[in-house]
Structure 1
C-alpha cells in the first residue's frame, strides 16, 4: 500500500550561525509538509564542552544542544511562559569567574534560583534530577589534580551530559531534551555520529602544516600548528607536556595528545588571526593523533536516502560542514542522482577557515571543498574534477555586497550548477550584509519547485528581498 509520504529535507549545519536560519527552514518545511532533519557535527572541543569532555569524555554536544533549544516552538497566539522559561534556562551560561560560577550552579541544583520561575513542578524536578546526577558525578571525579571548572558552563550542556550518563545513550539523551523542549515530531536533530566517545579532527594546510583539534582550527587561544618535519609525539617538549597531563586524573587516556587535553573554556570568536595558508583537507583522528575513518549515524544515512533536498547551511565550512560530509556513507548518499536538489547557502563573509585574507575562498572553492569531502567519504582521495561538482551541489544561493565571496555565475553554470542571487540586508553598525528571511525562503521555494506568482518577472539568479 502506497502512502505517498513526501520526501524530507536534510540540512547540514553547525550551531550558532545556522540557528539564525531555523525559521527559514521551518517555513520551507511547512510549505512542503515533510520531515526536516538537521545533521550536526560532534567534534567541537572548545568552550564549556571542552571541560565536559575532559572530565566525562563523550562527544562535543554544544551544537546539538544549541539547535534543540532553538527549536522550542514559539506560539504568538498564546502566552506560553514555560516554553520561554525553558529556552532561557537551557541557554543560560554560568559566570566566567570560577568561584561565582560554582556558587550559582549550587543555587540551580538546589532549586534556589530565579531560572526556575515559570517552569512547572513536573518538568523542574525532572530537569533537577538530571542536574543533580551530573553534580554527583562531578563530585565522584574530584581529585587533588583535577576539579571541574564551572566557568562559563552551559546549563543545557550539563543537562544533556547528565542525560547521556544516566541512560548510557547519546541518542536517548537527545530524545529527553527534545521532549522537555517540546521539539515537534516532524523536526529532528541528528548528531553526525551517534557515539558515547570523543572524536577529534585535524586539518592540513597548503603549506604542509597540520593543526589538531577543532578549537585550534577555528578559534585558538594560541597556535597549535605542528611542524611537519618533526614528530610531535616524540619531541622533548611534547613528551614533558604529555607526562604532565598523565599525572592528572580525568577522562583522557595516558599518552594522548596534549593539544586534545587542554581546557579551552575561554576564547573569542571575534578575535581570529588568519591561518598562514588555506586548509586543504580535514580528517578524524584517535586520541593519539592517528587518522581514522568513521561511519555516519545510521539515522543520518536513512534521512539522506529519503530526502528530496539536501541543504548545506551557512556556518564554518571546515568545522561545521566537512566533519559530517567525510563520514563513511554520506558521500554516496550525497551523490545519489535521485536527490534532485543539493543547495549550498553561501556564507555572507569570509572567516578564518575560508581565508587567508590574501587568498579568500570564492564560491567555487566552497563547492570544491564539499565535493572533495564527499569523495573522501567514498574512499576516493585526491582532487575532484570540476564537472563532477554538480553531483554534490546543484544550486548555489548567495548574497551580493561588501565582503561576500566571489561568485562566477558563468563558470558555475558551465559545470551544471544553478546560481540564485539574493539581496540581503545590512547589519546595523557593520559593513557586511546578511540574509533576509523572506528573500531566502522565496529563493529556496523557487529552487524546490514552488513558484511565487509575484515573482514571475524576477529572474531566477536575481531574486530580490
Structure 2
C-alpha cells in the first residue's frame, strides 16, 4: 500500500499491489518480469492460481485423496524459490530443497515406487545438501502421505507413483495434516524461502475437488479440465479396468462404483479416471469454439463457488491486474468466473490498469484452424467471464469490455493472434506491441523479458512510453 494525505490531513492507504491471474507452466517464464515490476513499484505481488486441473500426477492424488488440483500451485511455488544466481550469498541448501520439490519420480510405476521409498527413508541423493532440521521436517509430511497411501490401498485401487511430483506429495501431506490448503502453502513457502512479499493464492480455498466443464459453439459439452485442454492416453489402471473399450456411460459409472477411492458413488466417470499421461504438443483441434466455462459438482451439475476471500482482498488492495500468458479457458477464466472476482475488477475505482498479455501463439482452446481467436476474442472472453462472476450472462456490450481490460500487450509472429489495434482503441483499450524472440523451432514467438518489463513499466507509469523504445523499437504503444 502507498500512503497518501487526504484533504483532512490524515493519511489514507492507496492500493498499489499487482495481482497476476495465471496457470502454472506457461506463466512461469514471466515470473522474473513480475518480480522486477513489483520491486520497481515497491508493492506486493499476488499470483491467483486455479485449482481445477485434473491432469498429470495431480489426477492420482485427486482420485485417491480428493482435494484441489495442486499442480499449478506447486509449480509456481517452486519457480519462486530464489536460485543461487539471484542471491548475494548463494544458498546451496535452498537449491537442494528446490531440486527436491521439483523432482518427478520415474515414469515406470514399480521403479517410481522404489524411488519414492528411497526418498521417504532418506536414502535418496536428493537429500545430500539439505540440513537435518529441514530434512526431518519435510520427511515428516512425506511419511504422513506415505502412511495415508498405504492405508487407502485396496485390491481395486492402488496408488500409482508414476511421474509423481515430490512437491505435490508434500503439499498433500501438509494439507491432510493441517486440514488447510493455505496452511500447506505457507509451510512450503517458509521451508523453501519463497519471498515474503509474494503471495500464491489458490483461486478457491478448499479441501475439496473442483472441476470445470466447457460448452462449445456446436452444443458439445466437455467435462474436466484435462479433457478440455490435453486429452490423455489411457493409463495402466484404466486399461486394466477396460476404460479404453467402448462401453455405455451407465456401465462405466457402475464399474467405477466398485473401486474404493475418494470419489462419490455415481459421480461422473470422466472425473474419476487417472490422467497421468497426456501430450502438451500433439493436440487435435476442438470441433468448435469454446463459448463458456463453468464449475460442476461431481454429478455434472453447474455450481457457482465463491472466490478465495484473500483473492478478493488482494484485488481490493491492487492498482494493477495482469492476465498472464497461458491457456485462456483453463488457466485464466476458471479464476475470473468465481463469485466476487468480477465485481472486484469491474467496479474498483483504484484498479486503474487491467493488462492482458496476449499469448505468442494459439493453442487447442483458442486455435480451431477454421476460426482462430483474435485479440478481440481474448478480451471478449475475459469480459464475459467477469460478467458471469457477477451473475450477468451473455456477452457484455462493447463499451463494457474496458471494465475488465484496459491494455493489450502482444508480440507479432507466425501463428500469433491477430490484433486489430483501431478496433480496440475505439473501445478505449490501448495496445502495446513489443519485441519478441522466435522459439527454437521457429513456429512461435516468445516475449523478450526486457522488452516486456519496459512495456509494463510504461503502462504503470514508471516511465513515459515514448521513452521506452530503447531496444530495437521494443515498445510500440500504437497511440
Out of 307, 314, 338, the residue aligned to residue 296 of structure 1 is 307
Select the residue among 449, 455, 460 that pairs with 1:437: 449
Structure 2 counterpart of 1:266: 277
Counterparts of 1:428 and 1:460 in 2: how far apart (Å)? 20
Is 1:319 the counterpart of 2:333? The answer is no
* 1:120 matched residue in structure 2: 131
Aligned position for 1:232: none
Distance 1:456 1:84, change over 3 A: closer
1:34-183 aligned at under 5 Å gives the runs 34-74=43-83, 75-183=86-194
Q: Deviations over 1:261-313 (max 9, x none)?
A: 00001111011111010000000000000000000000000000111000000
Structure 2 unaligned spans of 5+: 1-9, 235-245
Q: 1:335·1:391 contact (CA, 8 Å) conserved in 2?
A: yes
Matched residue, 1:451: 463
Q: 1:363-402, aligned counterparts within 5 Å?
A: 363-402=375-414
The 3-state SS of whatever aligns with 1:314 is coil
* 1:198-209 equivalence runs, <5 A: 198-209=209-220
**Structure 1 residue 333 corresponds to structure 2 residue 347:** no
2:247 and 2:418 map into 1 onto residues whose CA distance is 45
Report what 1:283 is aligned to: 294
2:11 is paired with a residue of what secondary structure? coil
Instruction: Report what 1:347 is aligned to.
Output: 359
CA distance in structure 2 between the partners assigned to 1:386 and 1:300 by the alignment? 27
Counterpart in the other structure of 1:27: 36
Contact 1:204 / 1:211 at 8 angstroms: preserved in 2?
A: yes
- Greater CA deviation, 407-416 or 213-222? 213-222
Q: Given that residues 54 and 250 in structure 1 are in contact (C-alpha distance below 8 angstroms), is that contact kept between their aligned partners in structure 2? A: yes
Deviation at 1:79, TM superposition (A): 2.3
Structure 2 match to 1:228: none
Q: Does 1:362 align with 2:374?
A: yes
Partner-residue secondary structure (3-state), 1:439: helix
Cα distance in 2 for partners of 1:329, 1:77 equals: 41
Measured after TM superposition, the shift of residue 112 of structure 1 is: 0.3
Shift of 1:456: 6.0
1:430, distance to aligned residue in structure 2 (A): 2.8
Aligned to 1:462: 476
The alignment of Structure 1 onto Structure 2 pairs a total of residues equal to: 453
Q: 1:419 to 1:461 in 2, by over 3 A?
A: farther
Q: Are positions 1:13 and 2:32 aligned together?
A: no
Cα distance, 1:204 vs structure 2: 0.5
Residue range with higher mean Cα deviation, 163-172 or 425-434: 425-434
1:253 aligns with 2:267: no
Partner of 1:95, secondary structure, is coil
- 1:6/1:33 contact within 8 Å kept: no
Distance 1:454 1:393 in 2: 22
Displacement of 1:3: 6.3
TM-score by length of 2: 0.92
Q: How many Å apart are 1:336 and its aligned residue? A: 2.2
Secondary structure, in 3 states, of the residue corresponding to 1:419?
A: strand
Moved more, 305-314 or 449-458: 449-458
Judge conservation of contact 1:423–1:463 (CA < 8 Å) in 2. Answer: no
Q: Residues 224-263 of structure 1: matches in 2 within 5 Å? A: 237-263=248-274
Contact 1:245 1:258 in 2 (8 A): yes
Which residue in 1 is equivalent to 2:240? none
- Find the counterpart in structure 1 of residue 239 from structure 2: none
Deviation at 1:37, TM superposition (A): 0.3
3-state DSSP of counterpart to 2:130: coil
CA deviations over 1:194-242 (Å, ceiling 9, x no partner): 000000000110000000000000001269xxxxxxxxxxx98111101
- Looking at structure 2, the residues matched to 51 and 337 of structure 1 have their Cα atoms a distance apart, in angstroms, of 40
CA-atom RMSD, angstroms?
A: 1.8
Conserved 8 A contact 2:15-2:316: no
In 1, Cα distance between equivalents of 2:355 and 2:468: 22
**Structure 1 278/141 Cα, relative in aligned 2: closer, same or farther at 3 Å?**
same
Distance 2:367 2:415 in 1: 12
Corresponding position of 2:420: 408
Stretches of structure 1 that go unaligned for 5 or more consecutive residues are 224-234
Of the structure 1 ranges 455-464 and 257-266, higher mean CA displacement relative to structure 2 is found in: 455-464
Q: Is the 8 A contact 2:468 2:475 kept in 1?
A: no
Which residue of 2 is the match for residue 226 of structure 1? none
Task: Give the superposition deviation at 1:402.
Answer: 1.2
Question: Residue 434 of structure 2 contacts residue 474 of structure 2 at CA under 8 Å; is this kept in 1?
Answer: no
Summarize the Cα distance change of 1:456–1:149 in structure 2 as closer, same or farther, 3 Å threshold: closer
